[in-house]
């Protein structure tokens, strides 16, 4: 039994380096055609595609809160 809220899918990389996000994942995270996704990479831990609603939060963590310089 998998932990609640955790999911795993597979995707095939095409010749041009493109992947298709599985339908179930697109529906779960409300990913629509034309949406931009953020792909984060860690050479030790791999790739991550965070939910689009977390872009602002991630940017704040990466670049610091506005006004902090």
Please write the tens of the pLDDT for every residue from 42-54. 999 998 888 877 7
| CB 11 within 8 Å of CB 21 | yes
Residue-range domain boundaries for the chain: 36-64
| CB 16 within 8 Å of CB 8 | no
pLDDT of residue 63: 82
pLDDT of residue 3: 79
pLDDT of residue 9: 92
Residue ranges of the chain whose pLDDT lies below 50 = 67, 69
b/e code 14-49 from CB counts within 10 Å (16+ = b): eeeeeeeeeeeeeeebebeeeeeeeeeeeeeeeeee
pLDDT of residue 56: 74
> DSSP 3-state assignment of 55?
helix
């Amino acid at each position: 039994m998998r932990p609640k809220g955790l999911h795993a899918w597979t995707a095939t990389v095409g010749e041009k380096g493109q992947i298709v996000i599985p339908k179930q994942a697109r529906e779960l995270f409300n990913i629509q055609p034309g949406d931009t996704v953020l792909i984060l990479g860690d050479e030790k831990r791999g790739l991550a595609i965070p939910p689009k609603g977390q872009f602002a939060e991630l940017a704040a963590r990466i670049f610091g809160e506005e006004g902090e310089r």
